[in-house]
Structure 1
Amino acid sequence: MEGKKILVTGASGFIGSFLVEGGLERGMQVWAGVRRSSSRKYLQDGRIRFAELDFTDSDRLEAQLRRHKEEHGGWDCIVHCAGVTKCLDKADFEIGNYWATRHFIEVLSRLGMVPRQFVYLSSLSVFGAIHEADYAPIREEDTPCPNTAYGVSKLHAEEYIRSLQGFPYVIFRPTGVYGPREKDYYLMAQSIARHVDIAAGFRRQDLTFVYVKDLVQAVCLAVEREVTGRAYFVSDGQVYSSRTFSDLIWNELGKPWLVRFTCPLWLLKTISYVAGNGAKLARKTSTLNPDKYRIMKQRNWRCDISPLERELGYRPRYLLEEGVKETIEWYKKEGWL
């Protein structure tokens, strides 16, 4: 790993910033791919090198990559973490996740900059709500059936990458990723701190999670072994009930008094559609929207990580209790809670 040149796109984001740190810790020469307007709050280490990359402008991106090649050469590995998770319109998911990825790879090919390894951060959401009756783990041989615009866009990017002859890809499909700096699960912690905890639906729900540092571990193991032509699910290997996450947050917050409410799915659907359409009219993104409803409605998030353990030697270091503890401590330290 020492001295290996690696580019992390979307480096200013939650997962991207941790991937940058993980690469530095392992002695790699890390380039953080950011836009000119991107925050560098979590990219303060003096060893970080920056590559300005604008995935919203295809012509500019090609010029930026050509200039980088002339001045610095290419990279041994690219970890493509850039993408979109919230959009005003469904079409924006396709643009931000599929088309941006496709154009990036096409430009790399034209410029002779295809690395020895291209790591793509996908999502468990590409498989959608399957095995809902028997709660069997989702496995790589299952047929993807995404039920969200986000999942569809990620699947399209995966299908394009896998269709390229001889392209040195490795795909990671993490389940729910949480940890310091993450903002969606933070909303749950914020709600509990304000004495309200809401669960979605009455039917059994099996959830899986992965602490962000364990996702980084999985990616770095693949980079170290220069694996290509594979796709892996990533979780901490455990399965949790729908209340476990909120119970752990509640405990770390000192067990404040709490009003717990289980929202029927029909009501949650109504609220999500109203909130989503209202936000769309206001030209803003909303945490609650039809896509988010489908995610909360899904009952089975089990996934099979045995190939990751067997082939890469992945061993989760953070179970949910340890990860939530560290996350809540960070939220408190930063004044988020």
Structure 2
Amino acid sequence: MNKKKILITGASGFIGSTAVEKALASGYETWAGVRAGSNKAYLQDERIHFIDLSYANKDKLVKQLQSFAAQYGRFDYIVHTAGITKALHKSDFERVNYLYTKNFVDALVETRNIPDSFIFISSLSAYGAGDEKGYTPISTHQTPHPNTAYGRSKLLAENYIKSLPDFPYVILRPTGVYGPRDKDYLILMRSVKKGIAVGAGFKKQLLTFIYVEDLVKVIFECIEKGIRRKEYIVADGDYYSDDEFNKLVQQALGKKHVLRIKVPLWIVKPAAFINEKIAAIVGKPTTFNTDKYPIMKQRNWLCDVTPLQYDLGFRPDYCLKEGIEKTVQWYKENGWL
């Protein structure tokens, strides 16, 4: 019996590489979509097949898919994690996260290589700010109003995919994804290790998280249960204040004393602007920028995961405490902390 073929785009990234490991463990013929020159440090398994798709050029992409299908047949499943979360220019978000995705799905349709399932990894940022008065959870029934270029680019891609008749999409909107190989939360953990926990703003902030392996579990449960034309928010179902999160990091690091500093938002905003300008001069995108500021400012990240629980019976394997401990251990073992 031939193995089912799965393509995971953005496979050299944090989420993508974790999905590749799960695909291999699950017995799929696993294709890793990576750009030429991408770091393949986490893609060393000899069973991995590689493909470099030209998302920027739809005509070339069509030819690539036709050639692939003629030789191997179509992909049975596609997990589209490719995209960017930081950029030197805000226009890059729309180009990479929306236009490249549009080119890809258009090429799949044109070449009649539509998979049985197309999992699109979006973001909770596609919704924009939640209710910061009553702190009601963000749900899939709400009309999105993204307030960042990143969120808008993800929503554009979502809406285009949903507009295609009978296209077998599943849209996943994870909240803060953390775990081994992630570099965003690493910055915060390094600060705590140095004895400083920094928070933005004084008003109550409620945070939600999903451990990367739990997100990947959701991806494959959607595939294996044949979910089609659905969208889900993905989180572990709990919520935390920023102080509670920092305390868990402090415990995992074994730090007895940490200075907790709250920085007023009126200081954070110009600091983000200055940091972004420095990054532009240096020519290297930074995580702390003006597009990230609305995310740091946002007070309510509560989200409704009952559809995920109802349709998939989803229960996370990792609570935040366990996930942070495992993440910190990996960071230490790999010399990141």
TM-score range, shorter chain: over 0.9
Instruction: Tell me, in whole angstroms, the C-alpha distance in 2 between the residues paired with 1:44 and 1:24.
Output: 12
Q: Give 1:167-206 correspondences, 5 Å limit.
A: 167-206=167-206
Tell me the equivalent position of 1:214: 214
| Moved >4 Å (runs of 4+) | none
Contact residue 9 and residue 82 of structure 2 kept, 8 A: yes
Corresponding residue number in structure 1 for 2:156 = 156
What is the SS of the residue equivalent to 1:46? coil
Instruction: Calculate percent identity across the aligned residue pairs.
Output: 49
Does the 8 Å CA contact 1:210/1:235 hold for their aligned counterparts? Answer: yes
> By how many angstroms is 1:333 displaced?
0.2
Partner of 1:95: 95
8 Å CA contact 1:52–1:64 kept in 2: the answer is: no
Question: Residue by residue, what CA displacement relative to the aligned partner does 1:4-51 show, whole Å, maximum 9, x if unpaired?
Answer: 211100001000001111111222221111112111110111221212
Q: Deviations over 1:164-195 (max 9, x none)?
A: 11111110000000000000000011111122
Q: Residues 130 and 137 of structure 2 are in contact (CA less than 8 Å); yes or no, is this contact kept in structure 1?
A: no
The 10-residue stretch of structure 1 (162-171 or 255-264) with the greater mean CA deviation from structure 2: 255-264
1:34 matches 2:22: no
* Alpha-carbon shift at residue 250 of structure 1 (Å): 1.0
3-state SS in 1 of match to 2:64 = helix
Instruction: Output the CA distance in 2 between the equivalents of 1:250 and 1:57.
Output: 47
Note the 1:41-120 alignment, pairs <5 A. 41-120=41-120
Q: Which runs of 5+ in 1 are unaligned?
A: none
- Work out the number of aligned pairs and report it: 337
Q: Show CA shifts across 1:193-239 (max 9, x none).
A: 12221011110001000000000111111000111110000001001
CA distance in 2, matches of 1:12, 1:55: 16
Are 2:224 and 1:231 equivalent residues in the alignment? no
Give 1:59 deviation, angstroms: 4.1
Residue by residue over 1:64-120, the C-alpha shift from the partner in whole angstroms, topping out at 9 and shown as x without a partner, is 322212221111111111011111111100000000000001111111111111110
Range 222-231 or range 285-294, more displaced: 285-294
Q: Distance in 1 between matches of 2:38 and 2:60?
A: 16
Question: How far did 1:159 drift?
Answer: 0.5
Please report the TM-score for the alignment, with normalisation by the length of structure 1: 0.97
What secondary structure, in the 3-state scheme, does the structure 2 residue paired with 1:153 have? helix
Query: What displacement does 1:282 show?
Result: 3.1
User: Post-superposition shift, 1:60?
Assistant: 3.7
Aligned to 1:146: 146
Q: Name 2:316's counterpart in structure 1.
A: 316
Task: List alignment gaps of at least 5 residues for structure 2.
Answer: none
The RMSD of aligned alpha carbons is: 1.4
Partner in structure 2 of residue 302 of structure 1: 302
Q: Following superposition of structure 1 onto structure 2, how do residues 273-292 of structure 1 map, counting pairs within 5 Å?
A: 273-292=273-292
Is the deviation greater in 61-70 or in 132-141? 61-70
Partner of 1:3 in structure 2? Answer: 3
Does the CA contact (< 8 Å) of 1:174 and 1:234 recur in 2?
A: yes
